[in-house]
């Protein structure tokens, strides 16, 4: 009888251990929804494998967008796209799903790509979605970084 109880306890612990490991794997999979080497579509959109992902909480110019700086046109969309490509070069990207087609994405485990783009002036905070990047946008404007190089009216 004691041997049967001991055997039952061992099986129970084994099943619990297996369920725990499955739970950890599931939690990890949902925390990092998409990961891999990213291809840049434009300054606010990347692709990992066949998944197209909009960077959550920001607006960035389309790759072919033209801006004005000091009353002269310049291809701000192309430069912003190149800036994102430079940031992602040689990095593994991890994206956490925020909704249909959008995600918060990271390089180096903790560097928020959208934050980098806003801080460097290549994107603006999308205030309708999130307030996370507003202070960074204000700082980039003050520094006349990226899209703001011609002053506040130069950014799209």
pLDDT of residue 35: 94
Higher pLDDT, 109 or 15: 109
Where in 63-131 does DSSP place strands (E)? Answer: 67-69, 72-74, 92-99, 102-107, 111-112, 124-125
Indicate the domain borders of the chain: 1-31, 33-154
Q: What is the mean pLDDT of residues 56-83?
A: 92
Residues found in the chain:
156
pLDDT of residue 154: 52
Q: What is the mean pLDDT of residues 66-92?
A: 92
Do residues 133 and 116 make contact, with C-beta atoms less than 8 angstroms apart? no
**Tens digit of each residue's pLDDT (9 = 90 or more) over 84-133:** 999 999 999 999 999 888 999 999 888 999 999 999 999 999 999 999 99
CATH topology of domain 33-154: OB fold (Dihydrolipoamide Acetyltransferase, E2P) (2.40.50)
C-alpha angle 156/96/80, rounded to 5°?
A: 25
Residue 106 Cα to chain centre, angstroms: 5
Q: Give this prediction's pTM.
A: 0.76
| Cα distances (Å, whole numbers) of residue 13 to 1, 7, 9, 18, 27 | 18, 10, 6, 9, 21
**Tens digit of each residue's pLDDT (9 = 90 or more) over 136-145:** 999 999 999 9
């Amino acid at each position: 009888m004691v041997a049967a109880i001991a055997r039952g306890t061992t099986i129970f612990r084994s099943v619990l251990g297996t369920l725990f490991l499955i739970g950890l794997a599931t939690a990890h999979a949902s925390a990092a929804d998409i990961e891999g080497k990213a291809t840049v579509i434009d300054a606010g959109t990347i692709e990992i494998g066949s998944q197209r992902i909009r960077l959550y909480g920001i607006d960035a110019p389309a790759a072919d967008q033209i801006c004005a700086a000091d009353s002269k046109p310049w291809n701000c969309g192309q430069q912003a796209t190149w800036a994102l490509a430079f940031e992602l070069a040689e990095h593994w990207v991890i994206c956490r799903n925020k909704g249909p087609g959008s995600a918060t994405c990271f390089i180096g485990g903790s560097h928020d790509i959208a934050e980098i783009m806003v801080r460097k002036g290549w994107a603006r905070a999308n205030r309708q979605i999130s307030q996370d990047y507003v202070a960074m946008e204000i700082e980039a404007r003050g520094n006349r970084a990226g899209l703001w190089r011609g002053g506040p009216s130069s950014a799209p």
